[in-house]
Structure 1
Amino acid sequence: MLGYFSLIALLRVHSMLGDYHLAVKVLENIDLHKNAYYCNVPACQITTYYYVGFAYVMMRRYADGIRTYTNALLYIQRMRQMFQAKSYQNDQVNKQTDQMYTMLAVCLVLHPQSIDESINSVLQDRKYAEKVSRMQQGDLKEFENSFLFACPKYLSPVPPALDAPPDPNQEPLHIQKTIFLQEVGQQIYLPTIRSFLKLYTTMPVSKLAAFMDIDQTVLMECLLCFKHKMYNVVWSKGISSLDGEFQAGSEVDFYIDKDMVHIADTKVGQRYGDYFIRQIHIMEELHRAMKKLKF
């Protein structure tokens, strides 16, 4: 057990130092996709998922970040009653839960995909729905506020210079925030482009540029950015969480032939089996609980 906690402590330290690749690499001998000894301590498991998910987001592996956060939040939903019994962990678990919901909302704005319905229903609550709406409209300030709320407490790898005044621009938090906002700024037009592409099968480049009120040259750069940003490394198999293959994660695909954009809908039909299975389990648990009641 001590070895597991030592590796998870290294995960936290490297995340706070901003070395996200090394943070995930130290866990390469722990299969995060199966129950291990660290799962016996719920707070440890939640913390692990939080830092791994955040490292994925900062490495632009949004699909893996969404999967990690979703698994953690589903686990918290199942174990909520146990956390209420352990009151000393409530504050930490509740804060990390809010942080993971916030980062999950950011990931879904930058990389939309279908998630578990119970998690999606929480994101549709007013607390998060307004944040998502502002981020989809390109509000960089909302992205910044979400990052500042959900990020870990960063550490500087070097001691401050005692003979020089502190420079706010060199603070670890400011540096990481700047990197994140630069990445978001490159994708600021993508939600709008995606919304227009869903409405058409073919569309002139000039028409799309007129809808977005930008120059055609800028639009072509944005379309190329769309192709690039939606093509990410996604974990599929292997023990190491750094393993993965490049996959296209967009629900719409397109190609440009001369001055015409041709759009193909790649969205997979919704699967209802998981929803009904989950509802059956809930009803079975309710039935067993009612049988134990004595009237």
Structure 2
Amino acid sequence: MSYANGHAFPDEDVEEETLVADYQEQVNNYADEGADLGRADSIVSGGPADLRAQLEAAAAPLEFQASLETKFQSYDNYCSLFHYILNSDGPVEIETPSYFWAWDVIDEFIYQFESFCRYRNRVARTAPTEEEAQVLRENPNTWGCYSVLNVLYSLIQRSQINEQLAATKRGEDAQAVAGEYGSRPLYRMLGYFSIIGLLRVHCLLGDFSLALKTLDDIEMNKKAMFARVMAAHLNTYYYVGFSYMMLRRYADAVRMFSHILVYVSRTKNFQKGPNQGQFDAIAKKTEQMYALIALCVSFAPTRLDDSIHTTLREKYGEKFSKLQRGGPESLPIFKELFQSACPKFINPTPPDFDNPSLNIDPVDHHTEIFMDEVKNTLFNPLIKSYLKLYTTMSIQKLSNFLDVEPEKLRSWLLVNKQRSCRQIRWTEGGLLEGEIVGVLGNGSSEGLDYAIEGDLIHISEAKQGRRLVDWYLRNLARAY
């Protein structure tokens, strides 16, 4: 199996078949465990049976059209549940939950937080009724960012999960550092998936470096616990890949998206089951990643797995070609794909209900940031097509072909040199770490590098003779 840039993940071939079989078994088990999930009204402390009922309720999706009162009640229920788990006299005892179950608790908790923040911001931007605004204004801490982060960090700390993962990476016994709480499966699983939850929350808040930093102790391979749950597996690679893309580490983003998309294609026959809503969400997330990988390849052309490249051509057709050509006509496509595929960003603080015009849509804000990057590299494909034809070319001559000011062109060239010709690529260790690689080593078929000296551009890998160059440039200039 080949991946972008010619790299495979550790033990890729050895683990693939085992993981696919394990996933099929997990799906079958989930059908038995999840058939009778229901939401209870309040947290009670009558024993393990009551706690199990509350965990099942916490994993059950909230109705899409739930009232504001119901959303408040759900928040109170989560607070009571996590308070009981974290602050009881000693670890609570309960039958070992499944990976699916533990993931669903954390996933639904963060989803309701995300949905409430988006709802509150939308209400504040659309001149709400006084009654609705007053209720939200009087409850600024309900589904507050601090409260959600506090729960996730507390579960991680109580379970000692980072210490356990670090010990495992060193080849040591994780139980030796697990402590009284971390040795219990309930705490270990909730703590583990809280790390994945933090990745998601920090990404929703727009802190992409911190999002990647949270996974320092988790190994990105098929032996990881998140790989046992398809939704967790998919979300992990989606948010890691998206964070890399927003940090302009396009080769790493392509690698992450390629890995999970190839895996999804191999397990698609198992993605039908009793929880159809969850598997529909998996299909939607997969579509989003195809859009994101199309954007990344447009910024940094690279070799893709054949199945992914074929799918991109089938899904986007001419749109994909326009993205790769760049130019003004590609701008609407960049914006369309980004907004359809990006996370539903949220604000970390409550909005201003008294001044609706001051509240901005976080998705629009991050779209503007992304489009600024697009505009900075808009003519890169065209510039490269010119530079390929020369060994030395003056900035003035190139600016005449592009019909831009020489100094503006110089800025474009410097930005492209800094961002495209040399990039950090992750190999091992923390996801923010990596080796600096040049364009000729990043898997690109461009094979182009250049240096600027005064008013001259020195290009390597020139392809054509001077006579053909002049003829080609004249015709290409007319086309644009």
Tell me the TM-score range normalised by the shorter chain.
0.7 to 0.9
Q: Distance in 2 between matches of 1:101 and 1:223?
A: 29
Partner of 2:457, secondary structure, is strand
Deviation at 1:122, TM superposition (A): 1.3
Q: What are the Cα deviations for residues 199-225 of structure 1, in whole angstroms up to 9, with x where unaligned?
A: 333434333223222232222222112
Identify the residue that residue 191 of structure 1 maps to in structure 2. 381
2:352 to 128, 140, 161: 161
CA distance in structure 2 between the aligned counterparts of 1:257 and 1:25, rounded to whole angstroms: 38
Q: Work out which of the residue numbers 59, 72, 77 in structure 1 matches 2:265.
A: 77
1:150 — aligned with what? 341
2:341 maps to a residue whose letter is A
Structure 2 unpaired stretches of 5+: 1-188, 441-446, 463-480
Cα offset, 1:257, TM superposition: 4.5
Deviation at 1:258, TM superposition (A): 5.0
Question: Which one of the candidate residues 260, 264, 275 is aligned to 2:460?
Answer: 264
Q: Flag as ranges the 4+ runs of structure 1 deviating above 6 A.
A: none
The 5 A counterparts of 1:96-111 are 96-111=285-300
1:242 matched to 2:432? yes
Q: Normalized against structure 1, the TM-score is what? A: 0.82
The corresponding residue for 1:40 is 228
Asked if the contact 1:63/1:249 (under 8 Å) is kept, the reply is no
**Cα drift, residue 149 of structure 1:** 0.3
Q: 2:302 is paired with a residue of what secondary structure?
A: coil
* Aligned pairs for 1:196-275 within 5 A: 196-230=386-420, 231-238=422-429, 240-249=430-439, 251-265=447-461
Other structure's SS at 1:66 match: helix
Greater relative contact order, per chain length (Cα 8 Å cut-off, separation 6+): 1
User: 2:439·2:449 contact (CA, 8 Å) conserved in 1?
Assistant: no
* Aligned partner of 2:312 among 117, 123, 127: 123
- Residue 247 (structure 1) shift: 2.1
Q: Which amino acid aligns with 2:209?
A: H
> In percent, how many aligned pairs have the same letter?
41
Counterpart Cα distance in 2 of 1:61 and 1:124: 23
| Residue aligned with 2:398, SS | helix
Distance in 2 of aligned mates of 1:97 and 1:16: 18
2:392 and 2:456 in contact (8 A); partners too: yes
**Alpha-carbon RMSD:** 2.0
- Between the aligned partners of 1:121 and 1:199, the Cα distance in structure 2 is 29
Distance 1:102 1:166 in 2: 32
CA contact (8 A) 2:250 2:296 kept: yes
Q: Residue in 1 aligned with 2:131?
A: none
| CA distance in structure 1 between the partners assigned to 2:355 and 2:267 by the alignment | 50
Distance 2:200 2:395 in 1: 46
Instruction: Return the alpha-carbon distance in structure 1 between the equivalents of residues 285 and 389 of structure 2.
Output: 38
Max Rg structure: 2
Counterpart-to-counterpart distance in 1, 2:308 and 2:356: 46
Count of residue correspondences: 263
Q: Is the Cα–Cα contact under 8 Å of residues 352 and 358 in structure 2 kept in the other structure?
A: no
User: Any conservation in 1 of the 2:234–2:260 contact (CA below 8 Å)?
Assistant: yes
Q: 1:72 to 1:265 in 2, by over 3 A?
A: farther
Give runs of aligned pairs for residues 48-87 of structure 1, distance below 5 A.
48-85=236-273, 87=276
